[in-house]
Amino acid sequence: MGTSGNIELKQLVCNNTFVPRWENYVLSDLGPDEVRVRSEFTAAKHGTEKGEITGESVYCNVPMDQEHKVFDRTRTASYDPTNWKQVGNTTVGTVIAVGKEEKTLKEGDRVYGYGGFKTVHQGSNFKLLQPGLTEEAACCLDPANFALAAVRDGQIRIGERVIIFGMGAIGLLSVQLARLSGAIEVIAVDMIEHRRELALRHGATLAVNPNKVGDFGMASRKWLKDGADVTIEASGSYNALNQAIRATRYAGKVVPLAFYLGEAKGLYLGEEFHFNQIDIISARACSHPQRGLFWEEDRMLDTIIHLFREGTLKPFGLPDPVVTPDELPEVYGKIQHAPHEVLKVAVRY
């Protein structure tokens, strides 16, 4: 059984059965520019992690040719989703050891960085948790980053009317950022009541259950007359993407930011998309270069941190739920088995 000081080294792993377990691991020697961090608060990123665990993400089977920016389907390989994968997205903790060449951080500093559900992390990617940046906000930097990319790519401006599909963490933060960008109406769409309630706290002017409105395209014209100027699709559902197209005004913009998995069923491009000259704009914060000149990912992250620190952007109700290490395996499994019960799973050690 590995330990670091008096801390047992445990990490959460999961396979495609989504019955996760804690397992032991070992740390390598501390590198000269690395720090060792005792985890205190860690959160998951549901959609991305789920696609990797099930093997549905395209890069599980097909490599991308980075030079030509295309997936090379001549090199398709099999993927075994029964393999156990380490899971989790962002960690906040305290530095307990520092490499001899690390000059920025010291023992006792509270830091954050990408990292899964592990009791102790080690690496050179950790940053100081600045005053005003709470651990909850730090664990929401990743979804907020993608939300900002979508709002910027949609060019949401003062006076515009927006519809956002999918009130996961990214969708909820997209609501806030759309309002900060000047949208006077933001309609939040989600089937789960708790998420719709949270959307109103994040600034939505209306929150609707798509299963209760009948024909969504027609209903959207009652709410917004001609439809939305900009529609953001953050649910990852092809059916929702199709409804987003239908809910958008003539020559309006649809911004899909979700990571879509599998075959595109329920998407009909011969209907409103074709007849209404809809612009579909893919948004992804970590693709390089970004569309906006001088707006690379580092600048977007700096902007999000600034907004969180000054209180302009708030992680209302996120992460949710926050559980103990003993509870985490069962609760993490709900990402697959009971997704309506979890929004952004986190653990406090």
The predicted structure's pLDDT at residue 294: 86
Residues 253, 135 within the same domain: no
Task: For residues 99 and 162, state if they share a domain.
Answer: no
Q: Which among 257, 280, 303 is the end of a domain?
A: 280
* 307 part of a folded domain: no
217 CB-near residues (< 8 Å, 6+ apart): 243, 246, 247, 272
- Categorize the per-residue pLDDT at 291 as very low, low, confident or very high, splitting at 50, 70 and 90: confident
The percent of residues in the chain predicted with pLDDT above 70, rounded, is 100
Residue 313 lies in a domain: no
Say yes or no: 203 and 258 in one domain: yes
Instruction: Identify whether 310 is part of a domain.
Output: no
CB 166 within 8 A of CB 189: yes
Are 223 and 254 within one domain? yes
Q: Establish whether the linkage from the previous residue to 321 is cis, with ω within 30° of 0.
A: yes
**Do 162 and 128 share a domain, yes or no?**
no
CATH of the domain at 225: 3.40.50.720
Residues 129 and 178 in one domain: no
CA distance 71 to 64: 4
pLDDT in tens, 201-210: 999 999 999 9
Q: How would residue 1 be classed by pLDDT, with cut points 50, 70 and 90?
A: low
pLDDT at residue 293, as a whole number: 72
36 strand-pairing partners: 97, 122
Contact 235, 166 (CB under 8 A): yes
Mean pLDDT of 282-304: 90
> Alpha-carbon distance 275 to 263, whole Å?
24
What's the domain range around 222? 143-280
Within this chain, do residues 58 and 130 fall inside the same structural domain, yes or no? yes
Residues 72 and 112 both lie in one domain: yes
Are 9 and 61 in a shared domain? yes
Please report whether residue 97 resides in a domain. yes
Mean pLDDT of the chain: 96
Task: Examine the domain organization and report whether 134 and 153 are in the same domain.
Answer: no
The CATH number assigned to the domain holding 92 equals: 3.90.180.10
Contact 166, 146 (CB under 8 A): no
Q: What percent of the chain has pLDDT over 90?
A: 92
Residue pLDDT, tens place only, 98-124: 999 999 999 999 999 999 999 999 999
**Residue 156: pLDDT above 90?**
yes
If asked whether residues 39 and 161 sit together in one domain, one would say: no
Whether 306 maps to a domain, the answer reads no
Parallel, antiparallel or unpaired: strands 3-4 and 7-8: antiparallel
Q: Average pLDDT for residues 236-251, to the nearest whole number?
A: 97
What average pLDDT does the segment 25-37 reach? 97
167 and 249 belong to one structural domain: yes
In a domain, 31, yes or no: yes
Number of compact structural domains in the chain: 2
Examine residue 298 and state whether it is found in any structural domain, yes or no: no
Tell whether 158 is covered by a domain. Answer: yes
